[in-house]
Structure 1
């Protein structure tokens, strides 16, 4: 499902128009992005947790040469599916 299909599905489920669904989706992504950018995790009960995670400097290996290299410290985004979401998805197998 792409963004356009998601907007259509949201509009249908909420019995609203696509313009309203688009506004909701845009606001949702902005709020989550702003919160996570500031370091505040966002957990949506039964769905997922969005968080900014610090990864310290570490040793790695260049796959082309086998040489040991230092990988710089960085921030990453972690999205963790929560139990109810995982259970619902896996039950539909």
Structure 2
């Protein structure tokens, strides 16, 4: 597990420093990026940024399960989820 983390504020500051843009401008772009990403994935559109990442909506069928506390059988409803996949550049960066 990573012993370092970068929160949103630190991320925006780092991108602003790297790009020479203001933190306000970068924050607006980050907000717009996640807005478009969530809207697209929510509509069932796969978002792919070659080399970096892909995000797509998945579907899970209804299935039988058990309540872990009581052991009682329950029906788990069908639902949607999100699958995020790292691209080759991101995987290479993680390897160091």
TM norm. shorter chain > 0.5:
yes
5+ residue gaps, structure 1, are none
CA RMSD of superposed structures (Å)? 1.2
Secondary structure of the structure 1 residue equivalent to 2:83: strand
Secondary structure of the structure 2 residue equivalent to 1:28: helix
Q: Tell me by how many angstroms 1:34 deviates.
A: 1.1
CA offsets 1:27-55 (integer angstroms, 9 cap, x no match)? 11111111111100101111211111111
5+ residue gaps, structure 2, are 1-5
Q: Following superposition, which runs of at least 4 residues in structure 1 exceed 3 angstroms of deviation?
A: none
Number of residues of Structure 1 aligned to a counterpart in Structure 2: 91
Task: Provide the rounded CA distance (Å) in 2 between the counterparts of 1:67 and 1:81.
Answer: 38
After TM superposition, the score normalised by the length of structure 2 is 0.86
Query: In structure 1, what is the equivalent of residue 37 of structure 2?
Result: 32
